[in-house]
């Protein structure tokens, strides 16, 4: 079970931590909601809102835009642009520099092994007999909106996270959440949690799992919602740049999931089809109803992460018919959720925001064919290049311990063996590596620890740098050059600080929110302080974002 020492610790931290970038919001008068719903659409580029606008109905994205506030120039203000980092940054109001989530996984230089953002062997899986639910938020160094809500209400009110991925449900709701639920794929197909939150699943979760809803989606077919000839915002359905499902010769509609499941790890298919988003909506609505969110005298908070958009985006890319159809169906999921909130909670009783953890690059193979600079740079190839640098300068290729998440780690034992200084070796690697045609920027641990960058890619790199956790040298590839990706498989990826990865939607809607739009620049780290101001609670203790005053009544 969770250790309630954390809330006391956070209360102490809050009294000693103050952001020096917080906007004075004393002139804002609030309309506090009964329920706040945060939605993160995994891998949603901003331009999907404009490209597919005429494909959406009036009840989903367009309802939020027309009756809420649309911030058109919202960006990630750090790199790397990864799922765990984005979810943590949105809900803590700060960047990896402070919250410590460095990627979905990263290399722990103290333990000398890769670690996951949420895996935690100190807790057991609840819901299935497996280690896939051993998770907690203990690597998150700061509080979240949900933590602050609990502290403000003397631990009253409910804070719940729901996401297909563990990192999409655990990190948003922080340390004091009542629950975080995620979907375990493979042969299981169930929503689970860990003993960090509870010793057994609530009856409503078990009933949902036993109802076979996930299996029904797995045994369905994904075909285009409209006639495929109308999908003119996308490229050809059959093209050479997309990844294939096992058992298929072409990446074309329709996709019979029941026929594909045996060769594609069964419920893993739900992450790569819109059916996974439909299942997430079903589960979120069941949680709202069963937990009676928005019905008590205190405020509640629900974080929902839609993940199938990410799986489909990686496989088919942003110019695919599959992505266009996915967002047409995502629009329908939003309409379903909003209608349910209207009926269950009341139109005037909830506030909702929607954003994304990151965007994505166009498929490099496609860009290359169109004569844009792009490509793939496998990690093993880069490792060999860096090893050659230290071999040439110091006669010892073993000085390189690991390359992961655009971080290069130098081996301490080899430094002592060769009687070298870490800073000298790091400076050599940074100086020589940037000469490579696929590398745009490099920076050493010393540079990012001692200098302050205020703009450009170096500033973004610095906000994604954590003095305690990061490597000895950090690097960025040139635009549309994808690192650590198997170039033989096609598909695409994200992780950079470039516009295609960092420009995301940001929509506010509901109680206390104005109607309008803006082209002013904002960062996703501004979301937390804005929502906390609306709720009249303290900001997360590591917050560095500003209140977006123009959205609040």
How does pLDDT run across 29-40, given as a tens digit for each residue? 446 999 999 999
Same domain, 274 and 401: no
- Give domain status of residue 488, yes or no: no
> Residue 542: in which H helix or E strand, if any?
none
**Which residues sit opposite 483 in a β-bridge?**
377
Tell me, yes or no, whether 449 lies in a domain.
yes
The two three-digit tokens of residue 107, written as one number: 């290399």
Residue 340 is assigned to a structural domain of this protein = yes
**Between the CA of residue 152 and those of 7, 157, 329, 453, 477, what are the distances in Å?**
11, 10, 37, 35, 43
Residues 428, 345: one domain?
A: no
**Which of these ranges, 16-20, 50-54, 524-528, has the smallest mean pLDDT?**
16-20
**Higher-pLDDT residue of 440, 379:** 440
- Please say which residue of 478, 505, 537 terminates a domain: 478
Confidence of residue 379 (pLDDT cuts 50, 70, 90): confident
Q: DSSP states of 132-165 as a string?
A: TT-B-STT--S--HHHHHHHHTTT-S-EEEEESS
Q: Does 187 share its domain with 290?
A: yes
Nearest to 324 by CA among 314, 334, 316, 333: 316
Torsion angle (degrees, nearest 10) of CA 44, 47, 60, 172? 30
Indicate the pLDDT class of residue 6, thresholds 50, 70 and 90: very low
| DSSP characters over 450-482 | H----SHHHHHHHHT--TTT--SEEEEEPTTEE
Mean pLDDT, rounded, of the chain: 94
CB 362 within 8 A of CB 368: no
Domain span holding position 399: 375-478
Please say if the pLDDT value at position 328 is more than 80.
yes
Q: Does residue 83 carry a catalytic annotation?
A: yes
Residue 492 lies in a domain: no
In the prediction, which pLDDT does 12 show? 38
Catalytic site residue from 74, 79, 83, 195: 83
With a cut of 80, say whether residue 157 has pLDDT above it. Answer: yes
Whether the predicted pLDDT of 21 surpasses 50:
no
Look up the CATH number of the domain holding residue 424.
Answer: 3.30.1360.150
Residue 426 lies in a domain: yes
Enter the tokens of residue 534. Answer: 């609306």
Asked if 221 and 301 sit in the same domain, the reply is yes
Q: In this structure, are 324 and 342 located in the same domain?
A: yes
252-300 per-position pLDDT tens digit: 999 999 999 999 999 999 999 999 999 999 999 999 999 999 999 999 9
Burial (0-12, 13-18, 19+ Cβ within 10 Å), 436: middle
Q: Looking at the predicted structure, is the pLDDT value of residue 18 above 60?
A: no
The dihedral through the CA atoms of 38, 44, 47, 52 has a sign that is: negative
For 322-346, the three-class secondary structure string (H helix, E strand, C coil) is HHHHHHHHHHHHHHHHHHHHHHHCC
- Say whether pLDDT at 456 is over 90: yes
Which pLDDT belongs to residue 26? 44
Q: Which residues pair with 333 in a beta bridge?
A: none
* Of 26-40, 101-115, 362-376, 504-518, the least confident: 26-40
Q: Based on the domain organization, do 522 and 472 belong to the same domain?
A: no
Would the pLDDT of 518 be above 50? yes
Question: Is the same domain home to 450 and 507?
Answer: no
Q: Based on the structure, what is the number of domains in the chain?
A: 2
CATH at residue 530: 3.40.720.10
DSSP H or E run through 392: helix 379-394
The alpha carbon of residue 455 and the mean position of all alpha carbons in its chain are separated, in whole angstroms, by 23
Angle between helix 308-316 and helix 275-290 axes, rounded to 10 deg:
170
Position 416 pLDDT exceeds 90: yes
pLDDT at residue 224 above 60?
Answer: yes
Q: Where are the beta strands (DSSP E) in 356-460?
A: 375-377, 400-404, 407-410, 439-444
pLDDT tier for residue 490 given thresholds of 50, 70 and 90: confident
């Amino acid at each position: 079970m969770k250790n309630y020492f954390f809330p006391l610790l956070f209360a102490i931290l809050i009294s000693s931590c103050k952001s020096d970038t917080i906007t004075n919001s004393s002139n804002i008068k609030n309309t506090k909601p009964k329920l706040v719903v945060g939605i993160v659409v995994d891998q949603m580029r901003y331009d999907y809102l404009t490209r597919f606008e005429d494909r959406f109905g009036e009840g989903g994205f367009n309802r939020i835009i027309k009756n809420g506030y649309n911030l058109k120039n919202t960006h990630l203000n750090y790199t790397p642009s990864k799922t765990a980092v984005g979810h943590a940054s949105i809900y803590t109001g700060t960047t990896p520099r402070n919250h410590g989530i460095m990627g979905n996984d990263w290399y722990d230089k103290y333990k000398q092994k890769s670690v996951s953002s949420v895996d935690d062997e100190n807790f057991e899986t609840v819901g299935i007999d497996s280690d896939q639910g051993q998770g907690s938020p203990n690597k998150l160094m700061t509080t979240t909106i949900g933590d602050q809500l609990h502290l403000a209400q003397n631990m009253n009110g409910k804070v719940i996270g729901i996401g297909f991925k563990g990192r999409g449900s655990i990190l948003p709701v922080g340390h004091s959440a009542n629950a975080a639920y995620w979907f375990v794929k493979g042969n299981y197909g169930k929503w689970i949690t860990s003993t960090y939150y509870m010793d057994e699943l609530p009856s409503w979760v078990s009933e949902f799992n036993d109802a076979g809803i996930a299996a029904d989606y797995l045994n369905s077919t994904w075909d285009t919602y409209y006639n495929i000839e109308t999908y003119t915002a996308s490229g050809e359905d059959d093209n050479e740049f997309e990844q294939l499902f096992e058992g298929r010769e072409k990446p074309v509609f329709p996709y019979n999931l029941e026929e594909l499941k045996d060769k594609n790890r069964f419920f893993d298919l739900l992450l790569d089809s819109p059916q996974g988003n439909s299942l997430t909506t079903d589960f979120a609505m069941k949680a709202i109803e069963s937990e009676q969110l928005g019905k008590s005298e205190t405020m509640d908070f629900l974080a929902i992460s839609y993940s199938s958009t990410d799986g489909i985006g990686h496989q088919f890319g942003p110019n695919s018919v599959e992505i266009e159809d996915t967002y047409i169906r995502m629009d329908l999921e939003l309409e379903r959720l909003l209608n349910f909130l209207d009926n269950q909670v009341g139109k005037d009783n909830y506030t909702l925001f929607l954003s994304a953890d990151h965007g994505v690059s166009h498929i490099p193979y496609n860009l290359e064919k169109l004569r844009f600079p792009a490509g793939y740079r496998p990690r093993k190839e880069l490792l060999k290049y860096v090893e050659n640098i230290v071999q040439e300068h110091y006669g010892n290729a073993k000085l390189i311990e690991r390359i992961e998440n655009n971080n290069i780690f130098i081996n301490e034992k080899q430094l002592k063996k060769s009687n070298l200084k870490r800073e000298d070796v790091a400076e050599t690697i940074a100086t020589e590596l940037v000469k490579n045609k696929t590398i745009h920027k490099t920076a050493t641990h010393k540079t990012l620890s001692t200098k302050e960058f205020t703009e450009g890619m170096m500033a973004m790199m610095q906000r994604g740098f954590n003095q305690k956790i990061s490597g000895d040298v950090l690097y960025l590839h040139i635009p549309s050059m994808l690192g650590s990706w198997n170039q033989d498989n096609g598909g695409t990826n994200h992780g950079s600080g470039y516009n295609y990865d960092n420009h995301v939607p940001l929509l506010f809607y509901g109680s206390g929110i104005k109607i309008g739009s803006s082209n002013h620049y904002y960062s996703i780290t501004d979301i937390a302080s804005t929502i906390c101001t609306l709720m009249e609670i303290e900001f997360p203790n590591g917050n560095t974002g500003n209140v977006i005053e123009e959205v609040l009544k």
